[in-house]
Structure formats: structure tokens, C-alpha cells
């Protein structure tokens, strides 16, 4: 397979675009096309809304997941007081497009929230997500007070036997897990499984009691997302989870969508490895998730649909 050179969007910031050939390799080029709906869709080469629309279409459309009158929750990563180009948070245009898709399918209400690390109001505003979500008609719910959370049992967890989960998610008919693809100093990678940490109140417990195990334990929470939609339009390849400068990011223009959270994270790590080296074995929560039967790392067993838009 011929390797193409990375296209730099700006030499000053060192941001690179990844070739479609490499995306194919990242999500396993041995998969074959079949008529059934794919298990995982990888889209490349478009803008966030365009890639989302195509990815959802391949999976049967948004109406397969959102029904008329549904109360929908969208959980992006909005953890940091950073501008969109830093890729510390989920791309706001992706969130806008997903909110619009949900209302198009007949959603009664769409709520967007995260338990942020920095000041929640600054995170919501400076990430661009507040403006984008509200422009599409969504409600922004804060996550900065313990009263917003309710204790939920996780009986099969190893380290984490219970957690306080945000009430908006508990009350939702359906929810979407929408992380950004990025490096993380503690967890090694912050993708779909790690994004669950923003639905709980007490994150300090995770860091003090085997972070990788606790991340996987939390994913045993009974209310699974309808889809994991991984924003890889721009990824943070180093110095995560906040980043230091634009040179920490790479422009990938990609999106990974799957209901299989382990497969989604596995494919995302493969994609990440085209711009920065990361041994998936270091991202321990992914293997633990597979052992929990939350999904598979063996992408060759799945029907993977790869799409190039431009």
C-alpha cells in the first residue's frame, strides 16, 4: 500500500492531515463489504457535519436511534477552558450537527452536558459548544454541583461498585457518547471509554484506585450510549488532556462511529498511531473492557465500513 505524505495545514503549528489509506489500515483493511449494517463506520475527508451525516446514514439513519418525543442527552468532552482548535474538547460543529439530527428525528428535548475540569461556564463558552448547541436548540446542563447526580450501583465493577451519575443522563430515553480523540497523561488515551468520567461526580476516586480499572468498571453502567461518535477532525497527539500549543494537534478530518465502545476506541488508537506512537496495551481500560464483554478489539471480526468523502 502506497503511503502518502502528510499534508500540513500550517507549518507553524505542525498540524498534519492523515491519508485515507492510513485510515483504512487503522480500522483493519482486511474487512469485507457485506449488505448488513456495519458494526463500525470510519469516515474521512469532510467537515464534521458532513461526516456525521454520512456515518449515520450508513448505520440506518438517526431515526434508528432517536424516536419521536425522545428526551436525548449528548455527552461531549467539554472538560477544558480551551478554544476548539486545541482539540481538548469535542468539535462544536459536530455537536451542533448531532443536535440538529436529533431534532430532525423528532426529539422532544436535547440536553448537552459534561462534568468539566475547569470552570464549567468558561469551558462551555470557550469550547464553542455552548453557542453551537444552543443555536441548534439544545439545553446546556451544568455538572458542577453534587445535587445534579444520583448514586447508581455497578455490581460487576472490580474497583468501582457504585457511582453518582448525572441525573439528565439517567432520565434520558437515549444518549450519545461524543468524545474527542486525544492523548491523556494518566489514562494514556482519552476516547469513548474515558469520556464516561464526565458523567460522574467523584472523579478523584478513579485516580486514587486504579484509573484504568475504574474507567472500564464505569462502562459497565447499565445505560449504554446508542452510539459512540469519536471526533477525530482534529486530535491532540501529545501533552493531553489540555495541550500546550497548536503544535500538539494534528488535523485528521476523520470520524469513527460505532455502538461497540471497545471497537471504537481500538480503531481510534489505530488512527492516532498514524500521527503519534501509542501502544494500545498501555491503554489498559480497552483490554479490560473487552474482558468485560463490552466489545471487541478484533476489528477483523467486524463489518467495518470505510468512507472517503473528498
**pLDDT per residue over 19-48, tens digit each?**
555 555 555 544 444 468 899 999 999 999
Res. 50: pLDDT tops 70: yes
Task: CATH number of the domain at 233, please.
Answer: 3.40.50.11440
Among the listed residues 229, 199, 210, 225, the one whose alpha carbon sits nearest the alpha carbon of residue 294: 225
Are the C-beta atoms of 205 and 223 separated by less than 8 Å? Answer: no
The three-state secondary structure class of 231 is strand
- Cβ neighbours for 84, distance < 8 A, ≥ 6 positions apart: 91, 92, 127, 128
The rounded mean pLDDT for the chain is: 91
User: What pTM value is reported for the model?
Assistant: 0.90
Helix (H, G, I), strand (E, B) or coil at 307: strand
Q: Please tell me the predicted confidence (pLDDT) of residue 72.
A: 98
Number of domains composing the chain: 1
Residue 34 lies in a domain: yes
pLDDT digits (tens, 9 = 90+) for 217-248: 999 999 999 999 999 999 999 999 999 999 99
Q: Considering the domain boundaries, does residue 193 fall inside one?
A: yes
**Tens digit of each residue's pLDDT (9 = 90 or more) over 54-104:** 999 999 999 999 999 999 999 999 999 999 999 999 999 999 999 999 999
Summarize pLDDT for 184-214 with one digit per residue, the tens. 999 999 999 999 999 999 999 999 999 999 9
In angstroms, the CA 207 to CA 181 distance is 20
Q: How confident is the model at residue 268 (pLDDT cuts 50, 70, 90)?
A: very high
The reply to whether 4 falls in a domain is no
Around Cβ 308, how many Cβ atoms within 10 Å? 14
Domain membership of residue 259 as a residue range:
10-308
Q: What integer pLDDT is reported at residue 254 of this predicted model?
A: 98
- Residue 232, domain member (yes or no): yes
Please tell me whether residue 9 adopts helix, strand or coil conformation. Answer: strand
**∠ Cα 179 280 113 (to 5°):** 15
Determine, yes or no, domain membership for 5: no
CA 192 to chain centre: 4
d(CA 24, CA 155): 38
Tabulate helix, strand, coil % of the chain (nearest 5).
35, 25, 40
Does residue 271 belong to any structural domain of this protein?
Answer: yes
Residues written for the chain: 310
Q: Tell me, what's the pLDDT at 310?
A: 76
Amino acid at each position: 500500500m502506497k503511503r502518502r505524505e502528510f499534508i500540513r495545514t500550517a507549518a507553524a503549528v505542525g498540524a498534519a492531515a492523515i491519508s485515507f489509506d492510513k485510515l483504512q489500515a487503522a480500522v483493519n483493511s482486511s474487512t469485507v463489504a457485506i449488505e448488513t449494517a456495519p458494526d463500525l463506520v470510519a469516515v474521512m475527508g469532510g467537515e464534521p457535519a458532513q461526516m456525521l451525516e454520512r456515518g449515520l446514514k450508513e448505520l440506518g439513519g438517526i431515526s434508528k436511534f432517536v424516536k419521536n418525543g425522545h428526551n436525548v442527552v449528548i455527552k461531549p468532552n467539554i472538560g477544558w477552558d480551551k478554544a476548539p482548535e486545541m482539540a481538548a474538547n469535542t468539535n462544536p460543529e459536530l455537536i451542533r450537527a448531532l443536535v440538529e439530527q436529533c431534532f430532525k428525528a423528532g426529539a422532544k428535548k436535547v440536553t448537552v452536558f459534561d462534568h468539566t475540569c475547569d470552570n464549567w461556564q468558561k469551558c462551555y463558552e470557550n469550547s464553542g459548544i455552548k453557542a453551537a448547541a444552543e443555536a441548534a436548540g439544545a439545553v446546556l446542563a451544568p455538572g458542577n454541583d453534587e445535587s445534579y447526580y444520583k448514586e447508581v450501583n455497578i455490581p460487576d465493577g472490580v474497583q468501582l461498585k457504585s457511582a453518582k451519575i448525572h441525573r439528565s443522563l439517567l432520565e434520558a430515553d437515549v444518549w450519545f457518547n461524543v468524545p474527542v480523540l486525544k492523548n491523556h497523561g494518566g489514562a494514556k488515551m482519552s476516547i469513548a471509554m474515558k469520556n464516561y468520567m464526565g458523567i460522574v461526580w467523584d472523579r478523584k476516586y478513579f485516580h486514587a484506585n486504579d484509573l484504568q480499572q475504574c474507567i472500564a468498571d464505569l462502562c459497565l453502567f447499565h445505560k449504554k450510549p446508542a452510539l459512540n461518535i469519536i471526533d477525530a477532525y482534529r486530535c491532540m497527539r501529545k501533552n493531553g488532556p489540555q495541550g500546550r500549543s497548536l503544535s500538539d494537534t494534528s488535523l485528521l478530518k476523520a470520524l469513527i462511529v460505532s455502538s461497540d465502545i471497545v471497537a471504537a476506541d481500538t480503531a481510534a488508537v489505530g488512527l492516532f498511531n498514524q500521527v503519534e506512537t501509542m501502544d494500545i496495551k498501555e491503554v489498559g481500560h480497552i483490554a479490560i473492557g473487552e474482558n468485560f464483554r463490552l466489545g471487541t478489539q478484533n476489528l477483523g471480526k467486524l463489518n467495518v465500513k470505510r468512507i472517503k468523502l473528498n
